[in-house]
Amino acid sequence: MAHTFKTSVFASGIDWSAQSDEDNWLTSDSGAAVFDGADPITGGGAYKHRLIIAKAESIHAMWLVVSDLIFNAAKIKQNIGSFSPHSFINGVDGELFFLASDKTIRVIRGLGSRLPVVSEPIWKSFWDIPDEQFGLVRGHYIRRYKHTIWAIPSGPEETANNILCVRDESGRWIEMDTAVTAFGRYRRHAGFTIDTIPYPTIDEIGWDEIDFIETVTGFRQEIVSDASGYTYNLYGAEKEGETSDYTGFFTLGTTLTTDSKTDGLLEFKRVNKVTLIFRGETTGTALLQIKADFAGEWTDIGTVTLTSTADYTWLELPCDLRFRHAQIKISATNRFKFVGILFHYEPDGQR
């Protein structure tokens, strides 16, 4: 089913064939559903045995019924649609996420008309998607980590995806400055090479040995590719382009008080020691830095060694810090798993 706009033909409905004859589109229990409005069908997904159909300005649902109709259909949202067919992905509980026409990530958790926005924490990144680049957006769900991910082109001049927006199971968002055009999975394998074939002559090698592939122990790799043709391990790569070190970091802001009013910002605190908690690593270090009050640059506090055979390692770092409010940054070019930080301090007045 289609309509024509300025010599272009767009889909506006769905046909289905007879159940017993896939070539029969005209009689028996074949049928069609037409979705009203001149806006075209632009994408869709599945939600709890429902087929979700997205148009540019509306969202519809279809489901099986026990009658000659085979399918029933209803509009579940007006004035909100989608222009991004590859943004539709199911989350950990089967809910359906998508990039809506108002440049927000919305979720279908029921068949009512309320499609809540879940992208408020990073709204600007989605808002900055150029209107003509909606079709570049790619969504992906990673079951192992329960992450819903969108690769998007963010910026007025962007013509390719340049940011990864990652939402975890609890609803927290992370942005990664990573260009991704495709997602995939890969299982590590090993095969024979000319130096490892266990036969003295080529005459003894059978076709089954030549085709032999051995699965290597380990979980599937989540891989991504960019517009230049390079492929990366999304979660396991510790070097950029196999040569340059990444610098990973974690930041937090604190007044070292639970006061919800202004007292915490009025009082100085003098910190003489911090205790950092990490998961143990076989090697590596981490750098601790601070921006105190109105400081514009990061100041080094010190470096800790992460090497430990324990599951958790508690590392004390002496210091002399005085601030009302501070941003704290932990960073490293090697892998680190930060757990928490304890501040040892005393109140130090308001002046």
Using CA atoms, how far apart are residues 96 and 56, in angstroms rounded to an integer? Answer: 17
pLDDT per residue of the chain (351 residues) written in tens, 0 to 9? 445 545 566 667 788 888 788 888 888 888 888 887 778 889 999 998 899 999 999 999 999 887 777 888 889 999 999 999 999 999 999 999 999 999 999 999 987 778 999 999 999 999 999 999 999 999 999 988 899 999 999 988 888 888 999 999 889 998 988 889 999 887 766 665 666 666 666 666 665 555 555 555 556 788 888 888 888 888 766 666 556 677 888 899 888 876 655 566 778 899 999 999 999 998 999 999 999 988 889 999 999 999 999 999 999 999 999 999 999 999 998 888 899 999 999 988 887
What is the secondary structure of 303-333 as a DSSP string? EEE-B-SSSEEEEEEEEEEEESSEEEEEEES
Q: So where are the chain's domains?
A: 1-118, 119-237, 248-347
Angle at 82 between CA 175 and CA 37, to 5 degrees: 170
Give the tokens for residue 131.
């209107």
Query: How buried is residue 230: exposed, middle or buried, by Cβ count under 10 Å (0-12/13-18/19+)?
Result: exposed
The answer to whether the predicted template modeling score (pTM) of the entire model surpasses 0.85 is no
3-state DSSP assignment of residue 221: strand
- Of 125, 220, 127, 140, the closest CA to residue 174 belongs to 125
What kind of architecture, by CATH, is found in domain 248-347? Sandwich (2.60)
CA distance 299 to 179: 31
Residues 6+ apart with CB under 8 A from 17: 23, 24, 25, 30
